[in-house]
Amino acid sequence: MPELPEVEVLVRHLRPQLLGRTVRGIRVRRSKVLSGTSPRELRRRLSGATFTSLSRRGKFLVFQLHGPNLDEPFTILGHLAMTGRMYLQPRKVRLPKHAAVILNCGSENFVFEDTRYFGRFTMDAAALDKLGPEPLEGAFTASVLASAVRRSGQAIKVKLLDQKMVAGLGNIYASEALFLARVSPWTPARNLSEQEIKRLWRALRQVLRDAITRGSTVPLDYAGTEQRDGLFYFGSSDSTAASYVERLRVYDREGRACRRCGRTIQRMVQAARSTFFCPGCQPCKRALPKEHRSA
């Protein structure tokens, strides 16, 4: 489910429910989702601890807590990877099949479930130091993007997935942003013109902001395991999800007509990941004017 916008929407949704709550018990059903910590350490730190803040950095959820005596504040990071979800549900509601970690928060359980178990809970806050700038913050200017881009010959699509370059983009919004910016996914990063960098900078921010706005208008209902929130399932069949899909301009639209120019959207593979693009709107500007030989 998660790229930056989805994590942002989730954080805003969870924050008021979680702050001030105290953890009364913890169950780790799949210790593989813990990294840099053990079930025992997690239990020791979390038992009796209270949530004091929740924020987002890149695709990480940043939970701050403090122990029972207002002492030793500490941080836990959550990452949802491909299929992770986090929500509160009444304790009497049955836990989902792939619940990985459950925090007893009194009348409710805070559930971290992940069908593929690629997601993580970690106590190693240093993971955040490896991230590049937050694309929606003021410090991320077009010239910051320009200098990041100049140092690489990698295809720009691949570079956008590099969390050290900009934090929070994933496979969907990387394709979407390049389409909006009318930049070919194959352009070597350092070959982007000033204009293209500027367009890409604006497109990145627009695409992410848009998705957050749209996401936050969708009612989230995590109350029961059988109920879906309808927000992050662009491939599913319910109408909420369908309307979400329609917002995507190129992602998962192979073979369909470009909404802008009518050409057929293409899918190709870069770095073992699908890239979607419109050959009309994002032409590959390869060779500069080849000299014509007069012979």
Interacting residues toward DNA by CB under 7 A: 1-3, 6, 32, 58-59, 79, 81-83, 97-98, 115-118, 127, 151-155, 158, 161, 163, 170-172, 232-237, 270-274
Identify which of residues 175 and 282 has a Cβ nearer to DNA in the complex: 175
Identify which of residues 74 and 234 has a Cβ nearer to DNA in the complex: 234
Q: How far is the CB of 273 from DNA (least distance, A)?
A: 5
Q: How far is the CB of 62 from DNA (least distance, A)?
A: 14
Identify which of residues 82 and 93 has a Cβ nearer to DNA in the complex: 82
Q: Which two tokens stand for residue 291?
A: 């000299």
Q: How far is the CB of 232 from DNA (least distance, A)?
A: 5
Q: How far is the CB of 139 from DNA (least distance, A)?
A: 20
Q: Say whether 3 is catalytic.
A: yes
Q: Please tell me which residue in 3, 6, 8, 108 is annotated as part of the active site.
A: 3
Q: Please tell me which residue in 45, 56, 59, 159 is annotated as part of the active site.
A: 59
Angle at 130 between CA 124 and CA 134, to 5 degrees: 110
Identify which of residues 60 and 201 has a Cβ nearer to DNA in the complex: 60
Q: Say whether 5 is catalytic.
A: no
Could you count the other beta carbons within 10 Å of the beta carbon of residue 157? 26
Q: Please tell me which residue in 2, 5, 133, 185 is annotated as part of the active site.
A: 2
User: What is the rounded CA–CA span in Å between residue 281 and residue 177?
Assistant: 12
Q: Please tell me which residue in 44, 267, 273, 279 is annotated as part of the active site.
A: 273
**Which residues belong to the active site?**
2-3, 59, 273
